A and B are shown apart, each in its own frame.
Chain A
Amino acid sequence: MEDLLILENLERYVSGEMSQQEKIAFEELRKSDPHVDQLAVEHSYFLHELDRYSALKNYRHSLHEVENKLAEEGLITQPQIKGTEKVIYLWKRYRRSIAVAASIAAVISFVSSGIVVNYANTSGNENYELLVNKINQTNNEINKLKKTTSQLNTTATRRAEPTIDYRGTGFLIDGKGYLVTNAHVVETMKTVYVQDNKGNYYSAATIYLDKNADLAVLKIKDSAYKAYTTLPYSIKKTNADLGEQIFILGFPKSEVVYGEGYLSANSGNDGDSSAYQLSIPANPGNSGGPVVNSNGEIIGIITGKDTKADGVVYSIKSKNIFNLINEAKEADSTNTLKIKAPTGNGLRGLTRVQQVKKMEDYVFMVVGN
């Protein structure tokens, strides 16, 4: 309460409301009591601050009033800028943001196009898996052992089997020893061998490779190979129909494996019109294998599958084989390459089992290292 009294006196003292007598008495009090003096100093500073605050607050209030009045009058208005002036104004105002946005866009487009190009070079889709089989050497040894024990009693002379790292499938398109398989099956192989269903190895060579179509032509260059005069199947030149029943033969393991399914779409991965989508079980090693319809026509070549989706397998359309043959002929510098696409109809009307039995001889395991 005493402090309040001091404050009151102080305020009157500062504002000059005190009589002369009171003033002298108050100054005496300040001199005698340091507490009062300190309070007086502090409080007069504070009052000064408060005064300034009040004055400024009132002044700001006046500023607002004047401003509003002038705004109503139209002195303070958004000037109407038009045409190029406006463009210049906006450009000046936002060019920093524009620059930042543009550089971000540039970075993103470079990075993403880089990624796209990278994937396009390999498979076009991260879920796209090529069905060439990378051989586990141990399994291979075991299989070899099994084979040699089971065939110990056979009298046929057998040559040393090559070491193999990759396995795919191929099939004859000309009885003279020309096979078709996927480019990705053979492109990494230094030496290529093919093996028939009886277990005979023949050395072969890649004579033409089309990476874009993912197709390759192989030639068996082995004196042990006996040429076939005719092949029982033909290669379909036109598109196959949706829902057609199909079967495949391939080498996901070291012996031929049969699979059946149907044609589920007329385009491949990502709308690729040069391929079909099949619903069929296929595994690494099936790449390059023939897709055969019920008439015994080859309609495609297994190439890959979608790893994320169930039973989605892609095959190159068979008409690409004709293009491949033509390209291979053109690319042949000696002009002596003669490949005649098969036109046989020996599978027509047979049961599936009979078809497979006949077909087996012409489907080869493509291996190499």
Chain B
Amino acid sequence: MSTTAQEKQLLVGLAQNDKTAIEAIYRENYTMIQGFVLNNTGSVDDARDIFQEAMIVLYEKALSGTFELNCQLKTYMYSVCRRLWLKRLQHDQRFNTKVENLQETIPVEEELEDHDKKNTDFMIMEAAMHKIGEPCKSLLDAYYLQKKSMQEIATEFGYTNADNAKTQKYKCLVRLKKIFFVSYKNA
């Protein structure tokens, strides 16, 4: 398999939340990014944060289905991480240092803008999830995140039958939706 085909395969895996794909990308790229961050006044923890965020950007891209990798995955990751790190430095007002460019980069501004918006949505949803409280949070978590069936949920949460659990779930969902849209419109 050629490198390009291999990398395409990795992205497909990523979109399906495939841990082997994630691990492969980590093994291939993490050390380089850590070197870059450490070289530019960052710590190992900073490098982990930055790399994780870049992985999420890549995931969002892979999910969109329209993403085409026009360069090596390595270059892409480096460009994203570099941009993210510059942003972080600016945010902390530590940007007096000139960030060294170890490699060629590609423009990734659009991607990151898109990522920022998605990240905001994610935060709003997470905040809303925290706000609805128990048992709604666990109930929705079990259904939408863990993808459990209504029958399983009914047993786990002690509802007499799946229909009862379902009604409860809908009530929770309506509440969540209300909270979500309130913050969403304000954001």
Contacts and interface: CB of A to CB of B under 8 A. Distances in A.
Given A7-B173, A67-B48, A59 B30 contact: no
Nearest to B62: A59
Interface string B172-187: 0110110011000000
A110 interface: no
Interface string B149-187: 000000000000000001100110110110011000000
In the complex, the 8 A-B pairs of residues with the closest C-beta atoms, listed nearest first: A53-B125, A93-B41, A54-B145, A4-B170, A66-B22, A54-B144, A78-B44, A66-B23
Contacts of A93: 41-43
B56 A49 contact: no
B30 A76 contact: yes
A122 interface: no
A102 interface: no
A58 B17 contact: yes
26 contacts: A4-B167, A4-B174, A7-B174, A49-B121, A52-B118, A53-B122, A53-B126, A56-B59, A56-B122, A59-B17, A59-B56, A60-B52, A60-B56, A62-B17, A63-B56, A67-B52, A70-B23, A70-B26, A70-B30, A75-B26, A79-B44, A92-B40, A92-B41, A92-B97, A93-B42, A96-B94
Contacts of B122: 52-53, 56
Contact of A66 (B19, B118, B171): B19
A116 interface: no
B63 interface: yes
B54 to A, nearest CB: 11
A49 B125 contact: yes
Given A66-B26, A76-B48, A92-B40, 11 more contacts: A46-B180, A50-B144, A52-B122, A53-B125, A63-B55, A67-B48, A76-B30, A77-B44, A79-B38, A93-B41, A93-B43
B126 A65 contact: no
A46 B177 CA distance: 7
B96 to A, nearest CB: 6
Contacts of B43: 93
Label chain A's interface by main secondary structure: helix
B34 interface: yes
Given A46-B181, A58-B17, A75 B22 contact: no
A56 B30 CA distance: 20
Nearest to B52: A63
A51 interface: yes
A58 B22 contact: no
B31 interface: yes
Contacts of A56: 56, 59-60, 122
Contacts, number: 92
B34 A76 contact: yes
Contacts of A63: 22, 52, 55-56
Contacts of A28: none
A72 interface: no
For this complex, into which size category does the number of interface residues on chain B fall?
35 or more
A77 B48 CA distance: 10
A168 to B, nearest CB: 60
B122 to A, nearest CB: 6
B180 A49 contact: yes
A338 interface: no
Nearest to B95: A96
A16 to B, nearest CB: 16
Contacts of A92: 40-41, 97
B145 A58 contact: yes
Contacts of B167: 4
For B19, B48, B180, the residue with the greatest tally of chain A CB atoms inside 10 Å of its CB is B19
A114 B26 CA distance: 59
Given A46-B177, A96-B94, A52 B22 contact: no
B170 A8 contact: yes
B126 to A, nearest CB: 7
A93 B44 CA distance: 13
A8 B166 CA distance: 9
Nearest to A78: B44
A69 interface: yes
A50 B52 CA distance: 21
Nearest to B92: A96
